[in-house]
C-alpha cells in the first residue's frame, strides 16, 4: 500500500485519502438476514454519509473535544457514526454492549460524557433506559440519542473546518480522541487514553503484517466497540478492501454470508477458529468458505494444536496476533511466516512497535529466556484516565509493563507463556497455566480449557483444570488428564490435582476470552477433595 495512505495522521485524513484513491470500491457490507436486506456502502458513500451525520451531530452541539459515549452493535451505522465523530474531533468512548449499569455508569461519569449514543432496545435489552437510569442523579445528565437504524443528518456545507492534525513535535501534548475501558474484574474498569495516531499505528501494523490486498474481503464478527474495531477499520482503509459486518453472531448464518460474499479472511479470536473448524468437520470433503485463505485474530491464547488442526482440515493458515487495550497491536503472525512460527508464536512485533522481554529489574532477557513483555512505540496508549494508575504501569524507561510473560525467539518472534498473575505457585514451584492448557487442549475430548490456581492450605495453591467437553465426546476423566500430561512430558508437579468438567460452555467476554476470575470465584469456596 502506498505510503501516503499509511502516513495519514487522523482517521478523517485516512478516509479522505482512501476515497481519493478508490471512491467506488466496496467498504462495508451488511449481509442482512431476519427480513433485513443486504447492504453495501462504498468508501465514497461512507464518507458522504459521515459528513451528513457530522453536520447533524454539530447541530446538536457536538464539536471538537466533546466527550461522547457510545454503546452500539457492529453495523454500518455504528461505523458511520464513529467516522462522523472523528470528522468533528469529538472524544469517543466506545463501550462493548455486554457492559451494564455499573460499568456504563462509571465510564460516563469518568469521561464526563455530554452525549450517549445507544441502539435503543436491542438484543432484548433497553440500552437507552440504562443510559438514562445511570445518569439520572447527575446535575447535568448527558443527552441520550438512539443511533441504530437512523442517524441525525444535516447539510455538510454547515460543518466547521476539519480540526487540525495534532502537532507531532517531541514536546507536544497528546491530543486524546479515544477513551477505551479495560474490563474490570475485581475493581473499576481502567480508562485507556488513545490518540488517532496511536490507534492508527496499531491498524497500520496489522495491515502490513497481513499484507491484505484490495481484492480481499474481510469480516468483523467481534464488537466494533472493542479496541480491535478501529484497528481493523484502519486496516480496511489503508489496504482498500471491504468487510462483512456481523451484528448478531449465528454460526450457520455467518458461514453462509461469508460464502456468499467471498470472504478471504475471517476470525476474531481462538474460539472463532474452533467454531469454523467444527463446521468444516461436518462436511470434510468441501471447503465451507471456498474463498477463505486465512484465519486471523487475537484477544486470547492460541494453542499450537489449533493451528495444525485448521491447517490439516481447512487447508489454510492461522495468523494469530497479540494486542491489548493499551496497545492494540503488539505482535502479529503473517501468512509469510513458517508453520512453526505460526503455530508456536504470536508473531513478530508489528511495524514500529518496540517489544522488550524483561527481568523483574528491567534488564532485557536473553533470547529464549522468559520475562515480562514491556512495550513502547507509536501504538502505545498515552496513560490512564485515572492518572494515579500510571506510576505502576510504566517502568523508568517509559515502557508499558504488560503483565504478560513471554520469550523472544532467535527469529524475533514472540511466544506468550502466561500472565504474571496467571502463574500458579504450588509448594514454591511456579507453574505457567498456558503450558498445561496447551497440553490438555490437544486431547480430543477437550473443546476449551482454563487452568487456574485455587487456594489450598497445604500447597498454597493447587492446580485446577476446568474443561469444556467437545461436542459428541465423553467428558475427560482425571486418569485421562494425568495420562495426557505424562505423555506430553510435563513434570509431575505441573499436573493438575483437580479436574472440573464444566457444565456447558466456559464463561467468556465479548471477545471470547475465557473469564478465569469467574471460575476462580465460583470454585474457591467449594470444598476439595
Q: pLDDT tens, 28-76?
A: 999 998 888 999 999 999 999 999 999 999 999 999 999 999 999 999 9
pLDDT of 184 over the 90 cut: no
Within a domain: residue 468? yes
3-state secondary structure 407-451: EECCCCCEEEEEEHHHEEEECCEEEEHHHHHHHHHCCCCEEEEEE
List the grid coordinates of 429: 514451584
pLDDT of 370 over the 90 cut: yes
Domain count of the chain? 2
Three-state secondary-structure class, residue 251: helix
Which residues constitute the domain of residue 456? 427-524
What is residue 1's predicted lDDT score, i.e. its pLDDT?
46
What is residue 187's predicted lDDT score, i.e. its pLDDT?
60
Contact assessment for residue 424 and residue 438, using Cβ atoms and an 8 Å cutoff: no
Within a domain: residue 261? no
Q: What is the mean pLDDT of residues 252-268?
A: 96
Q: List the CATH number of the domain containing 459.
A: 3.30.300.30
pLDDT more than 90, % of the chain: 80
Q: What average pLDDT is seen over the chain?
A: 93
Q: What are phi and psi of 421, to 5 degrees?
A: -85, 0
Q: What is the mean pLDDT of residues 258-274?
A: 93
Least confident of 71-75, 104-108, 269-273: 269-273
Within a domain: residue 390? no
What is residue 429's predicted lDDT score, i.e. its pLDDT?
75
List the grid coordinates of 139: 446535575
Q: What is the mean pLDDT of residues 280-308?
A: 92
List the grid coordinates of 225: 466497540
Within a domain: residue 151? yes
Q: Which helix (H) or strand (E) holds 204?
A: helix 196-210
Please, which residues have CB within 8 angstroms of residue 256's CB and are 6 or more apart in sequence? Answer: none
What is residue 185's predicted lDDT score, i.e. its pLDDT?
44
Q: What is the mean pLDDT of residues 247-265?
A: 96
**What gap in Å lies between CA 514 and CA 412, rounded to an integer?**
28
List the grid coordinates of 360: 523483574
Within a domain: residue 217? no
Cell 515502557 sits at which residue?
A: 399
**509 — pLDDT class (breaks 50, 70, 90):** confident
Contact assessment for residue 439 and residue 425, using Cβ atoms and an 8 Å cutoff: no
Of residues 39 and 169, the one with the higher pLDDT is: 39
**What gap in Å lies between CA 55 and CA 158, rounded to an integer?**
7
**What gap in Å lies between CA 465 and CA 451, rounded to an integer?**
4
Within a domain: residue 503? yes
What is residue 188's predicted lDDT score, i.e. its pLDDT?
75
User: Which of 197, 226, 257 is the C-terminal boundary of a domain?
Assistant: 197
pLDDT of 2 over the 90 cut: no
What is residue 4's predicted lDDT score, i.e. its pLDDT?
60
Three-state secondary-structure class, residue 265: strand
What is residue 421's predicted lDDT score, i.e. its pLDDT?
76
Q: What is the mean pLDDT of residues 93-110?
A: 93
Q: Which helix (H) or strand (E) holds 295?
A: strand 294-297
Q: What is the mean pLDDT of residues 395-423?
A: 92
Within a domain: residue 224? no
Q: What is the mean pLDDT of residues 398-422?
A: 92
Least confident of 129-133, 292-296, 428-432, 478-482: 428-432
Q: What is the mean pLDDT of residues 389-418?
A: 95
pLDDT of 77 over the 90 cut: yes
User: Which of 197, 232, 261 is the C-terminal boundary of a domain?
Assistant: 197
Q: Kindly report, residue by residue over 415-469, the tens digit of the pLDDT.
A: 998 888 778 888 777 788 888 999 999 999 999 999 999 988 778 789 999 999 9
Within a domain: residue 309? no
123 CB neighbour count, 10 Å cutoff: 11
Q: Which helix (H) or strand (E) holds 53?
A: helix 43-59
User: Which of 145, 169, 197 is the C-terminal boundary of a domain?
Assistant: 197
**What gap in Å lies between CA 254 and CA 237, rounded to an integer?**
23
Show the beta-strand stretches assigned E in 457-497: 460-469
pLDDT of 341 over the 70 cut: yes
**371 — pLDDT class (breaks 50, 70, 90):** very high
Q: What is the mean pLDDT of residues 145-169?
A: 92
What is residue 3's predicted lDDT score, i.e. its pLDDT?
61
What is residue 426's predicted lDDT score, i.e. its pLDDT?
84
Amino acid at each position: 500500500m502506498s505510503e501516503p495512505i499509511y502516513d495519514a495522521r487522523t482517521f478523517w485524513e485516512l478516509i479522505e485519502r482512501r476515497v481519493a484513491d478508490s471512491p467506488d470500491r466496496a467498504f462495508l457490507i451488511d449481509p442482512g438476514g431476519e427480513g433485513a436486506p443486504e447492504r453495501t456502502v462504498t468508501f465514497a458513500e461512507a464518507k458522504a454519509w459521515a459528513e451528513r451525520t457530522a453536520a447533524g451531530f454539530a447541530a446538536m452541539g457536538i464539536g471538537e473535544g466533546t466527550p461522547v459515549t457510545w454503546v452500539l452493535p457492529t453495523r454500518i451505522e455504528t461505523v458511520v457514526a464513529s467516522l462522523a465523530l472523528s470528522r468533528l474531533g469529538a472524544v469517543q468512548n466506545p463501550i462493548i454492549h455486554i457492559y451494564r449499569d455499573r460499568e456504563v455508569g462509571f465510564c460516563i461519569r469518568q469521561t464526563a460524557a455530554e452525549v450517549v449514543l445507544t441502539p435503543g432496545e436491542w438484543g432484548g435489552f433497553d440500552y437507552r433506559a440504562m443510559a438514562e437510569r445511570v445518569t439520572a442523579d447527575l446535575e447535568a445528565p448527558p443527552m441520550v440519542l438512539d443511533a441504530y437504524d437512523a442517524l441525525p443528518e444535516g447539510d455538510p456545507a454547515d460543518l466547521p473546518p476539519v480540526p487540525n492534525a495534532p502537532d507531532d513535535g517531541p514536546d507536544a501534548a497528546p491530543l486524546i480522541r479515544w477513551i477505551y475501558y479495560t474490563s474490570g474484574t475485581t475493581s473499576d474498569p481502567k480508562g485507556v487514553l488513545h490518540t488517532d495516531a496511536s490507534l492508527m499505528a496499531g491498524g497500520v501494523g496489522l495491515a502490513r503484517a497481513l499484507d491484505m490486498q484490495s481484492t480481499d474481503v474481510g469480516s468483523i464478527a467481534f464488537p466494533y466497540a472493542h479496541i480491535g474495531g478501529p484497528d481493523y477499520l484502519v486496516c480496511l482503509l489503508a489496504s482498500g478492501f471491504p468487510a462483512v459486518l456481523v451484528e448478531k453472531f449465528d454460526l450457520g448464518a455467518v458461514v453462509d454470508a461469508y460464502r456468499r460474499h467471498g470472504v478471504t479472511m475471517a476470525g476474531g479470536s481462538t474460539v472463532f477458529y474452533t467454531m469454523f473448524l467444527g463446521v468444516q468437520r461436518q462436511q470434510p470433503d468441501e471447503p465451507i468458505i471456498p474463498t477463505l485463505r486465512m484465519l486471523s485474530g487475537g484477544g486470547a491464547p492460541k494453542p499450537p494444536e489449533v493451528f495444525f488442526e485448521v491447517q490439516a482440515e481447512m487447508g489454510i493458515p492461522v495468523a494469530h496476533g497479540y494486542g491489548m487495550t493499551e496497545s492494540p497491536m503488539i505482535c502479529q503472525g503473517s501468512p509469510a511466516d513458517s508453520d512453526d512460527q505460526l503455530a508456536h508464536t504470536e508473531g513478530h512485533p508489528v511495524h514500529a512497535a518496540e517489544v522488550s522481554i524483561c527481568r523483574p529489574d528491567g534488564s532485557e532477557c536473553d533470547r529464549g529466556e522468559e520475562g515480562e513483555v514491556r512495550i513502547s512505540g507509536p501504538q502505545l496508549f498515552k496513560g490512564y484516565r485515572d492518572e494515579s494508575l500510571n506510576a505502576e504501569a510504566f517502568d523508568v524507561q517509559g515502557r508499558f509493563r504488560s503483565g504478560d510473560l513471554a520469550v523472544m525467539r532467535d527469529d524475533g518472534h514472540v511466544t506468550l507463556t502466561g500472565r504474571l498473575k496467571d502463574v500458579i505457585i504450588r509448594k514454591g514451584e511456579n507453574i505457567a497455566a498456558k503450558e498445561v492448557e496447551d497440553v490438555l487442549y490437544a486431547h480430543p475430548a477437550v473443546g476449551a480449557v482454563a487452568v487456574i490456581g485455587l487456594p489450598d492450605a497445604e500447597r498454597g495453591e493447587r492446580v485446577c483444570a476446568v474443561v469444556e467437553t467437545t461436542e459428541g465426546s465423553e467428558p475427560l476423566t482425571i486418569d485421562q488428564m494425568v495420562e495426557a500430561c505424562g505423555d506430553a512430558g510435563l513434570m509431575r508437579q505441573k499436573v493438575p490435582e483437580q479436574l472440573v468438567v464444566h457444565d456447558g460452555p466456559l464463561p467468556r467476554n465479548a471477545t471470547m476470552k475465557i473469564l478465569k476470575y469467574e471460575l476462580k470465584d465460583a470454585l474457591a469456596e467449594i470444598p476439595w477433595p
